[in-house]
Structure 1
Amino acid sequence: MTTDPAPRRPTLSARTAAAAALLCLAPLAGCSAVFAGTSTLLGKDSLVVGVKADQPGLGLETSEGRFEGFDVDVALYIADHLGVAEQDVEFTGVTSAQREEVITGGEVDMVVATYSITEQRKTEVNFAGPYYVAHQDILVSADEKDVDDVRDLEGMTLCQGEGSNSANRITEEKGIAAELEEEPAYGDCVDRLADGTVDAISTDDLILAGFLASDPSAFRLVNAPFTNEKYGIGIAKEDVAGCEEVNRAVTRMYQDGTAEDLLDEWFGETGLDLVTSVPQFEGCG
């Protein structure tokens, strides 16, 4: 499913913004409270959503400037549940390193961008979901036959996208002596894997499966998962009511079969073992 970007809409309605501006003549603390109170997904007639722009199958910006992928379709399903029409959803590309910044800075209403829920991130933003639980895995070149699990990465060169913690889990948490190199995005890592300047990429299996599907003869997915990555929908930290409503949308998405259909559409031919049951939510607040 694809959608054309819609013109950007203001986060506040004209009436709310005018009232807030008048109240901001009062002391600054009162001004902050007014704006904080308006930061909710509920009742909006348009949404700005941050998604990845370079991850096939999840979030990819096409040459026509449209965005497509599983995360994009999940965002559209949530928007529909919230009463926002597809043409009133604007997508914008974000990198892993930008996700907290665009939420806390009010540049987007929500982020659906392979955004793993972590305790550190929960100190800055609120998370609905997870809407999917991925697992960290390994992508190697098609002719690499010696890597069967994470321990086989000893002495190899790994690539990860900036702002990701995936390779660090291997070198620091598991104590595997691998050399780490970082690129701005995972698409750059895939280019380096293709030209042989890195030995492997290790990150979430959905991300790897998307790149594999784009060129199945060039790469091999090891299929040896070793973590759980809970993909959440990032929203403003104070928006508990919006978070709870998004959770209702995710529940319905699994119950009515949409989640299974979308997973099959984007990843059904990759050989990945897809989970189609409702994930256990983390809780809002």
Structure 2
Amino acid sequence: MGYYPGCSLHGLAKEFDHSARAVLKTLDLQPVAPQGWICCGSSPAHRVDHRQSIQMPLESLVLYEQEGLKEVTLPCAMCFNRFRAAARELRLDPELKQDLDQELGFEYQDSVAISSLLDFVVDRVGLESISDKVQKPLKGLKVVCYYGCLLTRPPEVTGSVEPEYPMTMDRLMKTLGATVIDWDRKVACCGASLSLTKTELVFEMSGNILENAQARGADAVVVACPMCHINLDGRQTQMDIQHIPVLYFTQLMALAFGMPDDAALKYNMIDPRPLLKERGLL
């Protein structure tokens, strides 16, 4: 299976990459990331240069196609959204596609399915197969599932059938044995890259998300996006709120699979280990 780690998983989100690869291995899947992949462009590219924002994901998609891979899965919600947006734009604009094909010296066939890692493990691997791997159910752990903006919206790009109140991560967490709590902010924006330019606004937006999670009785917030994790976990120490752990869904999968070391919990800014020990999960 194709695997696109993106830039964040090589730095601030290394716990996402480590736990994702460990989980995929346990599920008997071998992630393949061809040499030469480049940044997807993230949010800056499409704001500055439309053509460049299409070309950057395309250059990586071409590598997966040349490898003969039929699907590429992306852990990062932002990378997933940019890949899907680029593929859709190429279908809608044949002239742009022809121009980029000529520039890259390869005729892109649009033969590689693009999926988020969350959708891949739930829809392709399946909850039954995941359940078979659970050795230490997350019993007693109350979580809220945070999807943010880019994992499900806009649906014409992401293909989501439940963009405003998604449930994929909720179903996964229930399969792992956690108690999933309904809440109000599962698709609210965390502030994203405004963290660098309008930090106080991000404190407010992310703080509202975290406070709602705690008001609903959650022990932890589960995420699938490095940018969201940076704001909700990394910025949390700068907010005047009670701290709450924020974990990638793959970290909790690794924990439930009986692989606590592969959950890479030491990298989280708000240390989840005291909570997990208290719940008897470590």
TM-score clears 0.5: no
Report which of the two has the higher share of strand.
1
Give the TM-score normalised by structure 2: 0.30
| Structure possessing the higher relative contact order (Cα contacts under 8 Å, 6 or more residues apart) | 1
Give the TM-score normalised by structure 1: 0.30
- The structure with the largest alpha-carbon Rg is 1
Report which of the two has the higher share of helix.
2
